[in-house]
Structure 1
Amino acid sequence: AADGPGHDTGIALDAGPSSLTVTFGFGRTFFGRTGLADRLPAALDPLPAFSADALDAKRSNGDLWVQIGADDALVAFHALRALQKEAAGTARVRWQMNGFNRSPGATARPMTARNLMGQIDGTGNPKPSDEDFDRRVFVPASPGKPQEWMEGGSYAVVRRIRMLLDDWEKLPVERQERVIGRRKADGAPLSGGTETTGMDLDKAGPDGRLVIPDNAHARISSPEENGGAAMLRRPFSYHDGIAEDGTPDAGLLFICWQADPFRGFVPVQRKLDRGDALSPFLRHEASGVFAVPGGAAEGEYVGQRLLEA
């Protein structure tokens, strides 16, 4: 009945699918609480501490991660309310973060999105056409191992990274570009070319200095500087108002995907932690790692291979 307790809220009544996706991931603590400790993958070991960390434990980790994405905010909210109703009595929300990206159609042609610093963000991502893409992003088969249920899945590292935008925006554009190692206008490396041109990490300018500084973010985070370590970044921006000190509570909901966080995110973040020119403008405020199983086959539900093992 339309007025009964189980009625649909009607929030998204007039909308189409709007590219709605719902992604589920299992946190480290999920396994002990459900009697599945013997199925806990080593890839969910706690991340090491980093010097830029100012982590809020109340907004970090969790048993279950649910990511809802849609081109329309009403459709996303409708999905959230539906899931909360279904989970009532079984699960409660530990933390929630709202993120956004550039809206479809905002640019004349599809482009790599910019973050709240105004930088094009995501240029160096591995591409599905790369011959090692699957190896880097998806978990391989491992019969008989605790993580065998994760075959075809991926591990998501989720970090809430506050951007100290007032400090960043005081820098002239030329200085911002040297911090990042790329041109702000088009994302091209300072060594020349276009956004997709590879970085020439050895190129020096007329003054003998490296064109891409040795502490530039793009250099330090590149696979070439990290023994080939790579991750697929799929971040969102966030803005949660103005803090009491008058600074924007804004930044990046950093989400990266990889076959193993200790071969993807961790080595790169360790390198950044030791001398990234961007670090003084960032503060990591929340963190989590989640095991996201491979897609459900027809007639299957997400995580069935774990939960019915």
Structure 2
Amino acid sequence: MPRPGASRSGGTGDPAGPASQPGVTRRRLLGTAGATGLALGAVGTAAGYAAAGSGDPDTAPLTSVGAETAVFHGKHQPGILDPMQSRGHLMAFDLAPGAGRKEAAALLRRWSATAERLMAGESSASDTGVALDAGPSALTVTFGLGHSFFARTGLEKQRPVALDPLPDFSSDRLDKARSDGDLWVQIGANDGLVAFHALRALQKEAGSAARPRWEMTGFNRSPGATARPMTARNLMGQVDGTRNPKPSDPDFQQRIFVPDEPSGTGTAEVPGGGSPRWMAGGSYAVVRRIRMLLDPWEKLSVTEQEAVMGRHRSDGSPLTGGGETTEPDLEKLGPDGTLVIPIDAHARISRPDQNGGAAMLRRPFSYHDGSDGKGAPDAGLLFICWQADPVRGFVPVQRKLDRGDALSPFVRHEASGLFAVPGGAERGGYVGQALLEG
């Protein structure tokens, strides 16, 4: 076995090892189980959306995983445009009885300071030692505000119109105890202990100001698990992540982020138009726990599964031919005169040009929480999508899927949340400062 710090190609790190170096911080203690820093796609088809990392994958040395560092400060919060990580935690909190605007501001200041330290590979204020011998591992921490947050803090007039509750959908079987919340935290990292360490640190920093409402844990393909960069597969075995919007798209920013100068008019005629000025540079996250009904799905033949999806299982290419990224020919007929891609196929119904151009950036995690009382796997998707306005992003696509997607009988939406995610914090500031101190 290679020594800690050694690459699989036989190269070695410092022979003395990182622990012998002066001034050791968690940032300098790099993880040794590594692969590539690939922006591999996450799962998303079960929700009715393709999912993938937002950037183009780049290969990197095998020992690089622990060293990868995301940036906390910036125009946007981390965890939106960063490549997908292999481990994730989602958690919602409710402000404690009696806690209001002052306590919420102090909490978000503490959380922001802790997230900044941990993402830089430094220790937390009350460090448990869980991640001492790992680097930052591409850790990102993202904070959001739920609909109820604004009443709790006396800021109802600042609540965005875009944060109005989502409509009901026929596939919803929602557990209210695992839905919504005053505050939302998303944690992602390429090391499970680093992700858990961040979770515990933020839980402790909540103190008496907020209490946990729900928590969910997810995973994705580990960086470097494939011989070459490629789109990931979801828990249904499908190649999934082909059609996620990319930052290079000319309309990417306006579809995903609230404008620098939002109208603040309370209308949603344009993306971000229903957002107040404190949301400039922010986005809206729709979070859905979507269970995949794997037992009935796996009873289908490969041909039947492909008809449901409208794509080949082997490589994700459309049934009408070409490669994974080839545009499906939705009008093509087979020898029998019927549509090659069925009228209710997921690939047809979920296409943006079939939904008024609705677009969102999907960045989810898979999950597996054991089995239910009948022995069926409790597994599926922690779906997370980002958009400047959910009324123009998530809602029209989900309504279309609700009306006749062939995949619908094989998925069940069991929890839901919608959160306003403010823009990134300035140095010395904290997330949400423009709202809470404006």
TM over 0.5: yes
| Greater C-alpha Rg | 2
Match of 2:262 among 130, 142, 151: 142
2:179 is the counterpart of 1:60: yes
| Alpha carbons of structure 1 residues 26 and 7: separation in structure 2 relative to 1, 3 Å | closer
State whether structure 2 residue 406 is matched by structure 1 residue 282. Answer: no
3-state secondary structure, aligned to 1:95: strand
Question: 1:294 aligns to what?
Answer: 423
Matched, 1:29 2:158: no
User: Residue in 2 aligned with 1:235?
Assistant: 364
Match of 2:329 in 1: 200
Which of 103, 108, 113 aligns to 2:227? It is: 108
Q: CA deviation at 1:144?
A: 4.8
Match of 1:189 in 2: 318
- Aligned counterpart, 1:214: 343
The 1-side partners of 2:258 and 2:158 are apart by: 15
Deviations along 1:196-233, whole A, 9 cap, x unmatched? 11111111111111111110011101111101111111
Show the counterpart of 2:133: 14
Distance 1:303 1:218 in 2: 38
- The residue correspondences of 1:49-198 to structure 2 (distance < 5 A) are 49-140=168-259, 141-142=261-262, 144-145=264-265, 147-198=276-327
How far, CA to CA, are the matches of 1:75 and 1:37 in structure 2?
Answer: 36
Cα deviations across residues 21-60 of structure 1 (Å, max 9, x unaligned)?
Answer: 0000100000100111111001111111111110000000
Deviating above 2 A after TM superposition, structure 1's stretches of 4 or more consecutive aligned residues are: 143-146, 297-300
Q: Structure 1 CA distance, aligned partners of 2:126 and 2:413?
A: 40
Work out the percentage of aligned pairs sharing the same amino acid. 75
Aligned counterparts of 2:281 and 2:347: Cα–Cα separation in 1: 29
Q: Which runs of 5+ in 2 are unaligned?
A: 1-124, 266-274
Q: Alpha-carbon deviations, 1:104-163, whole Å to 9, x = none?
A: 111112222211001122211111111011111111122554621111111010000010
CA distance in 1, matches of 2:310, 2:262: 39
- Stretches of structure 1 that go unaligned for 5 or more consecutive residues are 1-5
Supply the distance in 2 between the matched residues of 1:20 and 1:7 (Cα, whole angstroms).
18
Q: Which segment is superposed worse, 53-62 or 139-148?
A: 139-148
- Give the Cα–Cα distance (whole angstroms) in 1 for the partners of residues 159 and 130 of structure 2: 38
Residue aligning to 1:306: 435
Specify the SS of the correspondent of 2:322.
Answer: coil
Tell me, in whole angstroms, the C-alpha distance in 1 between the residues paired with 2:372 and 2:324. Answer: 34
Matched residues in 1 for 2:420 and 2:306: separation?
A: 35
Structure 1 position 300, deviation (Å): 2.2
Partner of 2:374: 245
User: More displaced, 263-272 or 119-128?
Assistant: 119-128
User: More displaced, 236-245 or 120-129?
Assistant: 120-129
Deviations 1:75-120 (A, max 9, x none): 0010011111111101111000001000011111222221100112
Secondary structure at the aligned position of 2:219 is classed as: coil
- SS for the counterpart of 1:135 is helix
**CA-atom RMSD in angstroms:** 1.1
- In structure 2, distance between residues paired with 1:272 and 1:115: 18
Aligned equivalents of 2:355, 2:183: Cα separation in 1: 30
Code of the aligned partner of 1:80: L
Looking at structure 2, the residues matched to 7 and 265 of structure 1 have their Cα atoms a distance apart, in angstroms, of: 39
Secondary structure at the aligned position of 2:419 is classed as strand
Against the structure 1 CA distance between its residues 144 and 116, is the aligned structure 2 distance closer, same or farther, given a 3 Å change threshold?
closer
Q: Where does residue 3 of structure 1 map in the other structure?
A: none
Greater shift after overlay, 119-128 or 140-149?
A: 140-149
1:7–1:23 Cα change, 3 Å:
closer
Which secondary structure state, in structure 2, belongs to the residue aligned with residue 94 of structure 1?
strand
Q: CA deviation at 1:192?
A: 1.1
Offset of residue 13 of structure 1: 0.5
Task: Please give the alpha-carbon distance, in whole angstroms, between the structure 2 residues aligned to 1:209 and 1:7.
Answer: 64
Contact 2:362 2:385 in 1 (8 A): yes
- 1:152 and 1:218 map into 2 onto residues whose CA distance is 31
- Quote the Cα distance in structure 1 between the aligned partners of 2:191 and 2:324: 29
For 1:255 and 1:183, locate their aligned partners in 2 and report how far apart those are by CA, in whole Å. 25
Deviates more, 1:132-141 or 1:55-64: 132-141
1:192 partner SS: coil
Indicate yes or no: 2:43 matched with 1:43: no
Mapped to 2, the partners of 1:257 and 1:193 lie a distance apart of 29
User: Offset at 1:299?
Assistant: 2.4
| Higher alpha-carbon deviation: 101-110 or 264-273 | 101-110
Q: Which amino acid aligns with 2:190?
A: D
